[in-house]
Structure 1
Amino acid sequence: MTEQELRRNRQACFEGLARVVAEPLHRYLLRRTNPDLVDDVLSDTMLVLWRRIDDVPGLGAGATPDPDDVLPWCYGVARGCLANARRADGRRLRLVERLIRTQQHPPPTTVEHSDLHAALDRLGELDREVVRLWAWEGLAPRQIAEATGLTSNAVNMRLHRVKKKLAAQLQLTRKNAGRPGHKPDEGRSSQ
């Protein structure tokens, strides 16, 4: 058999299987999960069936497979896909909860370094990324170059320029803030 004939045979086999199992699998999933999730899980199930078409028991070369032979195995696949979807949904919910908690209680480093974050926000996106990769991730310029698609020389020049720019912005911010620990008009008489 040629490769094209094998592909056509595989496709015909899957189409016959899909005609037999799609509706029962849809009903199976409707009884077990949220209606909004059914179509996604059914799609995942059909994808697994396509990938594992050679593993489906009772699926012969005949045009229409016997539902009694193929459905139990297909229900097992749908059950696994549903479990995967539920785990993914649980991970998403935990992530959302963690993000909400983080927003409610900002980490103390954010408050202590608000002037640094403000200065970083004034940089361009690529400059910000280069600085973060260097300072926060501890990457060397050649590693930053690999991550960003720049040359090592370009990264070195950007780092040099951006560090000077950040230092100037932070110095200006501190100068405008007055003496540390004092309000600008503190200690002056209003008369």
Structure 2
Amino acid sequence: MTDFDALYAAHRDDVWRYFKRRSPADHEDLVTEVFLVAWRRAGEVPHEPLPWLYGVARRVLANHRRAGDRRDALAERAAAHAAPAAPDLAEAVGLRTDLARALAELSDQDRELVLLVAWEGLTLAEAAAALGCRRGTAAVRLHRARRRLHTALHDDESGPALASMTALEER
């Protein structure tokens, strides 16, 4: 057994408890970081290593908290600049199951075209580029797919799917 193995075996649980008392999560990752520092700086580990390991653990925990604060601040800034998500019309009207069934009846290419336009918000030209076809071809396929979806979703013009289909047809 090497000196590092002995150091790890003797003090791993002490360092883990140190983090358990001070941090709600990530204990194992933090312990790993402490012993990575100990391994890298093996020549600097004193004869009584536990206080030194606690000092390393304190700095590792401080770095971990600062990183968490930076991550939270970045998430807040990103959320402030993010466009509000469009409502899922199918879910709002309670048609998710019917819509999934109707979409499953389309060919793979037509389904992907419909989803790119309706759910991903691409223009017809962008969807055509994503699918590797011409805009005119995509327009014809989208028109036919809309018609099949319309038929599958409602028998008459006043069905509850009209709102979601209107959103699809406007693109």
TM bucket by the smaller chain?
A: 0.3 to 0.5
Query: Which is higher, the Rg of structure 1 or of structure 2?
Result: 1
